[in-house]
Chains A and B, each alone.
Chain A
Amino acid sequence: MASIHCSSASLLRSVFTTTTTRASVLPPAFLVPAFNITQTSSFSSTTPAQARKDGNRNRGVSALRHTGIGRKQKLGVSLANLPKPVLDPQKRSTVDVDEDHGLWDFFYPSRELFPTPEESHAHGRAWTVPELRVKDWDDLHRLWWTCVKENNRSATAMLARQKAAARSGMYGDYEANARHEVVAETMKKIKFVLTERWYAWENARMSAMEDEEVDLYADVEKGEEAYLPGRAGDEPLALGTKADALTDSGKAIPPPDAAGTTREARL
């Protein structure tokens, strides 16, 4: 019946008694990790080399491990001599800027970093082809460069806006893009007009080859006229100008006897 009335205490009594008696010698098996038992003797019989003494004064200095600078290290700047930021805008020194500098062309006349969306939006429509047809080369050339400068300004403002807004974003890109599209359309129309003008000139040259009144090979620098009015009804002339044909008309049509001699010579 004693076996029936057995409890955990009665069962473990023998264990506890044994542990108390052997405590000075060895801890129980489940407490072994708590005792940090390290091996004191190395497996290698050779003596360990001294820590690396290679004369590197940066040895052991690490930014990751927050070691700080080494004892032998010296920085160029001391904390006492650090410049202090000028927090008051009134006390800051002003930078001398040339008012007529060419780089001002990269900014709008207000010289703000970038215009507001309202200012960007305040523009007209693009030039049309009929409006540009009446302009001469110089005007078109200068208008083209005006467009280029406008594009430069808008690109500068776009960059400045992105820089100022960073990740939060800023309104104004939409208006700036719409403005840029108008400028691009004007530039496209300038190219169109110039292309059209070139083809018109080419067609005129082709029709001038059939026109009797136009001498395409006239040397204008020597005073020869390219436009010879009133020559349309004349019979076609040989090479040479109108003046030549009038002075020695005999050369244009060879005399009959000369023609006969050539025929004999050929025979």
Chain B
Amino acid sequence: MQPTPILQRAIKRLALTTKQGPHNYYKGNRTGAMGQHTKYGGYRIAWEKVRTYVCPDLTDFNLTPFVARRIEKRRDTFAHTETGSPMDGKEYLRRWKEEGGII
């Protein structure tokens, strides 16, 4: 069955679903596999694949997600660089050389 032409045009703007893709289209949910299926239908979790998020040591770290409102917002200017952007490569190199060129 084909959708009506108008619907086809609208569908192009939506995400591809498994009903539209090829027969082996795997959409997934953007998380990798955490193990393997066994031949008996079970699932063996591979612990080296399971995500572990390590929080850094936060002792004596005084910053908070908030900044006091009385501190004024300032603006950076990059007019002195060649491209005038904060991502200027030559300015990066110049400063790297200025600081000794240490990797």
Closest beta carbon of chain A to B41's beta carbon, Å = 35
Contact segment of B4-12, B13-21, B25-33, B85-93: B85-93
Residue A18 is within 8 A (CB to CB) of chain B in the complex = no
Evaluate contact between B67 and A125: CB separation under 8 angstroms. yes
Determine whether the beta carbon of B97 is less than 8 Å from that of A127. no
A210-B31 Cα distance, complex, nearest whole Å: 40
Please state if B86 and A227 are interface contacts (CB–CB under 8 Å): no
Tell whether, in the assembled complex, residue B61 and residue A142 are in contact, meaning their CB atoms are under 8 Å apart.
Answer: yes
Contact B63 A139 (CB under 8 A): yes
Question: Which of A80-88, A90-98, A198-206, A233-241 is the interface stretch?
Answer: A198-206
Report the separation of the CA atoms of residues A234 and B21 in the bound assembly, to the nearest whole angstrom: 58
Q: Mark A101-138, 1 if CB is under 8 A from B, else 0.
A: 00000000000000000000001111111110100001
**Is A249 part of the contact surface with B, judged by Cβ < 8 Å?**
no
Q: Any chain B CB within 8 A of the CB of A157?
A: no
Per the bound structure, the CA–CA distance linking A138 and B93 in Å amounts to: 22
A182 within 8 A of B: yes
A14 to chain B, nearest CB (A): 81
Q: Contacts A142-B56, A227-B101, A229-B101 hold; do A125 and B89 have CB atoms under 8 A apart?
A: no
With A145-B58, A199-B87, A226-B103 as known contacts, state yes or no: A128 contacts B93, CB within 8 Å.
no
Instruction: Output the nearest chain B residue to A147 by Cβ-Cβ distance.
Output: B65
Residue A176 is within 8 A (CB to CB) of chain B in the complex = no
Q: Select one of B57, B73, B89 contacting A205, CB under 8 A.
A: B89
Count A interface residues, CB 8 Å: 44
Contact partner of B93 among A183, A199, A214, CB < 8 A? A214
Q: CA separation between A220 and B102, bound complex, in Å? A: 9
Contacts of B101 in A (CB 8 A): 214, 225-227, 229
A146 adjacent to B93 (CB under 8 Å): no
With known contacts A207-B93, A226-B103, A124–B66 Cβ distance under 8 A: yes
| Residues on B with beta carbons closer than 8 Å to the beta carbon of A128 | 67, 73-74
Q: Which residues of B contact A (CB under 8 A)?
A: 55-58, 61, 63-69, 73-76, 86-90, 92-93, 96-97, 100-103
Q: List 11 A-B contacts (CB under 8 A).
A: A124-B68, A126-B67, A129-B76, A130-B74, A146-B63, A146-B64, A186-B65, A196-B87, A200-B89, A220-B103, A227-B102
